[in-house]
């Protein structure tokens, strides 16, 4: 039996938002949501071998935390205003652009979301959270192969970025009908985050289906 995969990011965008770093992002265990868009890092860290930036000025940290707190509380209107004010003063932090993109996507404003992601990726073309969000947006618009490319770039830039592995699994299983690839993606996710009972069930289901497909192919030879 095909177990359900969550494919709507709307109800999963809040929890990881405070964790988006100001200048980069690192991998970590996400909430169990395929198209959720944040990581679990809480400080500026090196990305793909790049050195971390200098200490963040207190006023920057405070403004960012205020915007993220509004977002975590579900007040997207206030959060959007605060992030826009933040970026007017400090435009060089990709994580803030990504958070703004999440707000726009939640408001079904895909054009604005894409603009914010483009701004983040202009600052850091290998920003995993931005690439993951881009994959979400492309998948939502039916551009499955382009979404795959974005997710793959995210896991290439940051192999331990679990969300992109998860989203690749969803994309490969439900949209591209690549069961073998989906199984590998979910296994990679599981290896990164540890035991996830729901994903464990999906993996078992996929293993059965892949084996059945192989038996059918062998019988036809």
Which domains are present in the chain? 10-28+38-159 (1.25.40.10)
Please answer whether residues 154 and 166 qualify as being in contact, where contact means their C-beta atoms are separated by less than 8 angstroms: no
Token pair belonging to 26: 């690192």
Model confidence band, residue 214 (pLDDT cutoffs 50, 70, 90): confident
- The pLDDT value recorded for residue 27 is 31
Q: Which of the pair, 22 or 152, is modelled with greater confidence?
A: 152
pTM value?
A: 0.77
What sections of the chain are H helices per DSSP? 58-72, 76-89, 94-106, 110-123, 128-140, 144-157, 162-170, 179-193, 197-220
Q: Look at residues 48, 28, 50 and name the one whose alpha carbon lies nearest to residue 165.
A: 28
- The pLDDT value recorded for residue 125 is 97
Q: Which of the pair, 216 or 138, is modelled with greater confidence?
A: 138
Per-residue pLDDT reduced to its tens digit, 165-204: 999 999 999 999 999 999 999 999 999 998 889 999 999 9
- The pLDDT value recorded for residue 55 is 64
Per-residue pLDDT reduced to its tens digit, 76-134: 999 999 999 999 999 999 999 999 999 999 999 999 999 999 999 999 999 999 999 99
**Torsion on CA atoms 163, 113, 136, 71, rounded to nearest 10:** 40
Q: Which of the pair, 7 or 45, is modelled with greater confidence?
A: 7
Q: Looking at the DSSP assignment, which residues form a beta bridge with residue 47?
A: 50
Could you give the CA distance from residue 91 to residue 122 in angstroms, rounded to a whole number?
11
- The pLDDT value recorded for residue 8 is 35
Question: How far is CA 26 from each of CA 32, 98, 205, rounded to the nearest angstrom?
Answer: 17, 14, 30
Q: Look at residues 202, 131, 125, 209 and name the one whose alpha carbon lies nearest to residue 163.
A: 131
Q: Does position 25 have pLDDT exceeding 80, yes or no? A: no
Q: Look at residues 188, 149, 8, 197 and name the one whose alpha carbon lies nearest to residue 180.
A: 188
Per-residue pLDDT reduced to its tens digit, 151-162: 999 999 999 999
Q: Does position 6 have pLDDT exceeding 90, yes or no? A: no
């Amino acid at each position: 039996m095909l177990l359900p995969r969550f494919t709507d990011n709307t109800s999963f965008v809040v929890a990881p938002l405070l964790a988006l770093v100001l200048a980069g992002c690192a991998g970590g265990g996400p909430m169990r949501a395929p198209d959720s868009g944040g990581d679990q890092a809480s400080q500026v860290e090196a990305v793909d071998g790049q050195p971390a930036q200098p200490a963040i000025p207190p006023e920057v940290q405070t403004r960012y935390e205020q915007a993220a707190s509004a977002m975590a509380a579900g007040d997207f209107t206030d959060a959007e205003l605060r992030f826009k004010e933040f970026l007017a003063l400090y435009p060089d932090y990709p994580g803030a652009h990504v958070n703004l993109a999440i707000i726009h996507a939640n408001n079904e404003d895909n054009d604005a979301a894409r603009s914010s992601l483009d701004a983040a990726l202009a600052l850091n073309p290998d920003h995993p959270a931005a690439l993951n969000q881009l994959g979400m947006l492309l998948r939502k618009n039916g551009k499955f192969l382009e979404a795959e490319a974005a997710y793959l770039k995210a896991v290439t830039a940051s192999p331990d970025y679990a969300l992109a592995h998860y989203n690749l699994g969803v994309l490969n299983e439900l949209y591209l009908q690549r069961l073998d690839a989906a199984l590998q993606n979910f296994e990679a996710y599981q290896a990164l985050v540890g035991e996830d009972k729901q994903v464990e069930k999906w993996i078992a289901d996929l293993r059965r289906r892949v084996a059945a497909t192989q038996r059918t192919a062998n019988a036809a030879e």
